A = this chain, B = another copy of it.
Amino acid sequence: MTIDELCINTIRFLAVDAVQQANSGHPGTPLGAAPMAYVLWDRFLRHNPSEPKWPDRDRFILSPGHASAMLYALLHLTGYDLSLDEIKRFRQWGSKTPGHPEFELTPGVETTTGPLGQGFANGVGMAIAERWLAQNYNRPGYEIINHHTYAMVSDGDIQEGIASEAASLAGTLRLGKIIYLYDDNDISIEGKTNIAFAENVAQRFQAYGWHVIGPIDGMDTSGVESAIRMAKEETIRPSLIICRTIIGYGSPNKAGTAAAHGEPLGEEEVRLTKERLGWPYKEPFTIPEEALAHFRQALERGRSWQERWQATMDEYRRAYPKEAKQLEIDLRGELPRRWDSNLASLFNTAHKPIATREASGQVMNAIVQRVHSFVGGSADLAPSTKTLLKDHGHYGFEEYSANNIHFGVREHAMGGIANGMSLHGGIIPYTGTFLIFYDYMRPPVRLAALMGIRVIFIFTHDSVGLGEDGPTHQPIEQLMGLRVVPNLVTIRPADATETVEAWKAALERAHGPTALVLSRQKLPVLDRTVLAAASGLQRGGYVLWEAKTPPDVILIGTGSEVHIALEAAKLLQDKGVGARVVSLPSWELFDEQPLAYREEVLPRNIRARVSIEAATPLGWERYVGLEGTAIGVPHFGASAPGKVIYEQFGLTAQHVADAALKLLHR
């Protein structure tokens, strides 16, 4: 057995043994794809296992996250802080080796993968970030940022729409430092891939503007090596190397079949596979010393790469102190001191009515003046979402230092790419689309929350108030759909002043994504000289106004409906009923407050509560309870001018006041 074969089999059987021990997992891909993964990690991947966060490392993504055992094997073998014990505890409670790779949990895992196609898009985002940083910071003689984005992708990834969207954009943007190895094993869970997938993948990727190599024999190390070399030589187009492999390679009874995919081989079959591949070790989890020594050379290589980089960086800091300082701030994900000092003066009471999407656009343009790394775009809706950063160029087309990205009509890829940008580091990304199209990008929003990364998802046209476009475009369940995602903070500001606060909260939330939910229609700017300060938003909810008499009833609203609640309170006042108006722009921030504060805002003894929100009322029982009334839209919308819809759907101050009176039996 050559050293290459020995190392490849070491990866294979660490993975196979881990799956067998867990009695759960996916042995098929590691057996087939170990050779290509080995060649990449052994001969190309510039990384430093002792410093997994070294900024100029190559990125590696395992898009078919179900092959996690293979990645854990590589991480352990090359010297990351992941012990063999952890591999033995594969898929067990509290281990660092979960069923699918998880960002931050395991050193060296660049992104959380498993839902297919996401890793593919993440890589495109990482490559965008790499090029943005390179273009902004590299100087002649100082290639501070210069690395590749590698991924392994599977048949499933290639079939998912998000991969199509991301590939088309990567081709358009000419991201030549993307190199993806496609593990083309002809097998999917229901059988041969051609039962559902007979397309010509090479031709399709050529059509996207990719440089396609192969199909090659993905299990021939020298073939894979020269293919990756060719891919590195191509600097304009992203590269896809089509690697034919055999799923479950070596397994006498399961190789080349779906049976090898998603369940342990079984002890007997493991034994037969080891025999077939000439693996002499009876003991599971055996790592031959020679193999380990070979793999662990990665530590020395990595240290030396990083040292050389550090030397260049030190020189760069002397030659370009301002740039170096800025780059370091960006890479740490910090906000500059007093980054928000120019926001306070944007809107005041005298301001004319303004849609929160429009206010948001103004805030964003103020932010980018201070926050250099603020980069993003919209899925072909920038004029409507107001997400354009003026005078900050258009990314791509020889202008890779620009802050505006045109994602095209590709919401799903936009989300996955923004996640990749955030994961790469050096950028604070945002995305923009209509709230209804959150439905097109649910998986990446969820993954951002799961990974705890900072991405700001802007959703405008937030209710039936958008008007004539009708029910296909009017969100009903999307707002509550954001609130139920763990670790996502959703903010629906009531006016321009709350929009400023919402942006502050979003940018300062470094370890999780934020969704900003904004109106299409104009809204008055709340008069803070008579109402509570907008900074109350930072606590999620606050008493905006109340009658002089002690409150008989609490009216709770969010976003555009806060104005209706205020008007209703005044109607009630005219009838001698004391109402309190609570603005509740963010449930998550409010629920995080100490009980005492929440009691202050919503005292438990006041059970006469009416909520109003132009969305599904389901969920509002959390604040109004079984005795209160939740006014909302428990059905689909309609096509008509927004104001007409509000009237017809009973989203009116009169309706709120009547509901309050009914609760009070008056």
Which positions in A face B, CB cutoff 8 Å?
Answer: 22, 24-25, 65-66, 91-95, 98-100, 102, 112-116, 155-156, 159-165, 168-169, 171-172, 188-191, 193-204, 206-209, 258, 262, 378, 380-384, 394, 396-397, 406-410, 412-413, 436-437, 439-440, 442-443, 446-447, 449-450, 467-473, 476-477, 480-481, 483-487, 604, 607, 616, 618-619, 621-622, 625-627, 634-636, 638-641, 644-645, 648
Contacts and interface: CB of A to CB of B under 8 A. Distances in A.
A160 B165 contact: yes
A190 B382 contact: yes
Given A98-B639, A102-B470, 7 more contacts: A93-B641, A94-B640, A114-B473, A161-B165, A172-B199, A196-B410, A477-B481
A206 B209 contact: no
A410 B159 contact: yes
Chain A, interface SS category: loop
A483 B636 CA distance: 14
Contacts of A481: 477, 481, 484
B407 A471 contact: no
Nearest to A65: B472
Across the A-B interface, the 5 shortest Cβ-Cβ residue pairs: A161-B161, A196-B408, A98-B639, A114-B472, A164-B164
A168 B197 contact: yes
Contacts of A169: 196
A638 B115 contact: no
A384 B263 CA distance: 11
A341 to B, nearest CB: 31
A111 to B, nearest CB: 11
B168 A165 contact: no
Contacts of A209: 198-200
A247 to B, nearest CB: 14
A485 to B, nearest CB: 5
B161 A413 contact: yes
Contact of A98 (B116, B191, B638, B644): B638
B160 A409 contact: yes
Contacts of A161: 160-165, 410, 412-413
B468 A476 contact: no
Contacts of A483: 618
Contacts of A472: 65, 99-100, 102, 112-115, 447, 450
Contacts of A471: 98, 100, 102, 450
Nearest to A172: B198
A44 B331 CA distance: 60
A461 to B, nearest CB: 12
A440 B115 CA distance: 9
A199 B189 contact: no
Contact of A409 (B116, B172, B201): B116
Contacts of A102: 470-472
A91 B474 CA distance: 14
A99 B190 contact: no
A635 B449 CA distance: 10
A480 B484 contact: yes
A93 B648 contact: yes
A410 B203 contact: no
Contacts of A635: 486-487
14 contacts: A98-B639, A114-B469, A115-B472, A159-B409, A161-B164, A161-B410, A188-B409, A189-B380, A189-B384, A190-B383, A195-B397, A201-B207, A480-B484, A618-B619
Contacts of A112: 472
Nearest to A479: B484
Nearest to A447: B472
